[in-house]
């Protein structure tokens, strides 16, 4: 059964909406990841923040007002007309919601805890329920009055990709006629300081697959798709996932779980590796992730494939990353342009060589095109999705 990504709403540090994001992405505009103070004591870090005003929820949903939901609402608003048309076509009870996140409203929760420690009472605006990992999905369902399956997915940095995989299953099972799926995460002090404490952040930015790589930068984003069985601009061809459970925070060194997820996605899509035109790499610029992903890519794509990590432009958007980078693949298929690999060009001689995309590169004139997006996470959680031109 074919599934399609009929509409995309997206917001991140590169801009609000598909047009702004595509312009900065394909222009290799790395100016959107400036160093910022005040997030980690006595240090400045590059952060991919969204620096525009975000829409507030309607007054009826005031108790769900937080930055995470505002970011998600901004992405949803871009495709609200498409969503409303789907509701009119299928009915709200036949539309599901699957949203990946890893932090939801943890920044507001942190502020609430600070207030409790300071004043001995919870602030009036504090709502514990906003921390729940299903809260973003529930917010969308309540805003749109949807009655289909509604749930959050929190598998760390594969959350957004796993939401797309789950959406396809809901359609395949006949439980829904349309699914709103994607991911959202906002900048918050808890994960930023956590990655800093792990010595996983690079104060200079993000330099994926370089011999000089030192770690990640953190960003925020929301990417939301409307997936249906109705033909649309981009086809969702398949997805694969695995859990190698190698270590709490370190990937399996040979990328065995990553290979399993990529091969599962290829099998689900009915493709062999030679039919893939581009891969968006997880590419965090941490020593161990880039090492294992290089090995996994060389094993699955023995003849090579154009690939890039876009995290040097956006930072790592955590639970939103899988959805955001699938959005970049969606834009690549729409525009025929490939997201560039931004780094210092100093290859690590200890890693298998990959075919990195240079600025200005395009998909070939021969269609159809198929593109893959990789997402890997703490705990050995791996996910991969494949998109293609509509048949």
Under 8 Å between Cβ of 316 and 219 = yes
pTM for the model: 0.97
pLDDT of 177 higher than 80: yes
Q: Which of 140, 136, 135 is nearest to 86 (CA)?
A: 140
Q: Name the CATH code of domain 3-389 (choices 3.40.640.10, 3.30.360.10, 3.40.47.10, 3.90.1150.10).
A: 3.40.47.10
Active site residue 355: no
pLDDT 10s digits, 192-203: 999 999 899 999
Q: How much is the pLDDT for 383?
A: 98
Q: How far is CA 17 from CA 72, 243, 332, in A?
A: 12, 33, 15
For range 109-122, the mean pLDDT:
91
In the chain, the percentage of residues whose pLDDT exceeds 70 is: 99
Q: Where are the domains of the chain?
A: 3-389
- Highest-scoring range by mean pLDDT, 86-90, 105-109, 201-205: 86-90
Instruction: State yes or no: pLDDT of 39 exceeds 70.
Output: yes
**Alpha-carbon span 154 to 158, nearest angstrom:** 8
**Can you spell out the DSSP letters for 107-126?**
HHHHHHHHHHHHHSS--TT-
Cβ neighbors of 340 (< 8 A, separation 6 or more) are 26, 28, 308, 357, 358, 359, 360, 361
In the three-class reduction of DSSP (H, G, I as helix; E, B as strand; rest coil), residue 169 is classed as helix
Q: Determine which one of 32, 282, 341, 369 is catalytic.
A: 282
Identify the pLDDT of residue 130: 86
Contact 181, 153 (CB under 8 A): no
Q: Is position 246 annotated as part of the catalytic site? A: no
Rounded to a whole number of angstroms, the CA Rg of the chain reads 20
Q: Are 270 and 382 in contact (CB under 8 A)?
A: no
Residue 370: pLDDT above 90?
yes
249: pLDDT confidence band, cut at 50, 70 and 90? low
Which whole number is the average pLDDT over 279-288?
96
pLDDT band at 298 (very low <50, low <70, confident <90, very high): very high
Dihedral (CA of 283, 289, 295, 324) sign? negative
Q: One of 12, 157, 206, 307 is an active-site residue; which one? A: 157
Q: Is 237 helix (H, G, I), strand (E, B) or coil?
A: strand
CA gap 124, 126 in Å, rounded = 6
Q: What is the pLDDT of residue 125?
A: 85
Residue 213, sorted as left (phi over 0), alpha (psi -120 to 50) or beta, turns out to be beta
| Residue 118: pLDDT over 90 | yes
pLDDT at 391 exceeding the cut of 90:
no
- For the stretch 31-64, what's the b/e string if a residue is b when 16 or more beta carbons lie within 10 angstroms of its beta carbon? ebbeeeeebbeeeebbbbbbeeebeebeeeeeeb
The packing angle between helices 287-300 and 256-269, to 10°, is: 40
Mean pLDDT of 265-280: 98
* Residue 316 annotated among the catalytic residues of the structure: yes
Given the residues 3, 307, 316, 341, select the one marked as catalytic: 316
């Amino acid at each position: 059964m074919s599934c399609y990504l009929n509409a995309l709403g997206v917001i991140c540090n590169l801009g609000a909406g598909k047009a702004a994001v595509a312009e900065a992405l394909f222009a290799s505009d790395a100016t959107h990841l400036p160093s910022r103070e005040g997030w980690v004591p006595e240090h400045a870090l590059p952060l991919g923040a969204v620096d525009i005003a975000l829409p507030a929820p309607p007054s009826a949903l005031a108790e769900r007002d937080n930055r995470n939901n505002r970011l998600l609402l901004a992405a949803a608003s871009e495709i609200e007309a498409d969503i409303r048309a789907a509701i009119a076509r299928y009915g709200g009870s036949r539309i599901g919601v699957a949203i990946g996140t890893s932090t939801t409203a943890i920044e507001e929760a942190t502020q609430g805890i600070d207030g409790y420690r300071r004043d001995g009472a919870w602030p009036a605006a504090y709502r514990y329920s906003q921390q729940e990992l299903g809260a973003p999905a529930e917010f969308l369902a309540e805003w749109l009055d949807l009655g289909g399956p509604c749930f959050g997915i929190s598998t760390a940095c594969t959350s957004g990709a796993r939401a797309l995989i789950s959406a396809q299953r809901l359609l395949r099972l006949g439980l829904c006629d349309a699914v709103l799926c994607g991911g959202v995460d906002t900048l918050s002090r808890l994960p930023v300081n956590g990655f800093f404490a792990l010595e996983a952040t690079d104060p200079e930015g993000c330099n994926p697959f370089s011999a000089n790589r030192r770690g990640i930068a953190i960003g925020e984003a929301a990417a939301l798709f409307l997936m249906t069985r109705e033909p649309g601009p981009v086809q969702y061809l398949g997805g694969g996932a695995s859990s190698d459970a190698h270590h709490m925070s370190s990937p399996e060194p040979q990328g065995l779980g990553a290979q399993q997820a990529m091969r599962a996605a290829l099998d689900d899509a009915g493709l062999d590796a030679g039919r893939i035109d581009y891969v968006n790499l997880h590419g965090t610029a941490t020593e161990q992730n880039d090492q294992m992903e290089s090995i996994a890519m060389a094993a699955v794509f023995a003849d090579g494939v154009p690939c890039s990590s876009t995290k040097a432009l956006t930072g790592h958007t955590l639970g939103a990353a899988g959805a955001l980078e699938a959005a970049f693949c969606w834009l690549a298929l729409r525009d025929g342009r490939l997201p560039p690999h931004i780094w210092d060009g100093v290859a690590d001689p200890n890693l298998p060589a990959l075919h990195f995309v240079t600025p200005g590169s395009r998909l070939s004139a021969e269609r159809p095109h198929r593109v893959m997006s990789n997402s890997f996470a703490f705990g050995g959680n791996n996910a991969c999705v494949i998109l293609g031109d509509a048949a």
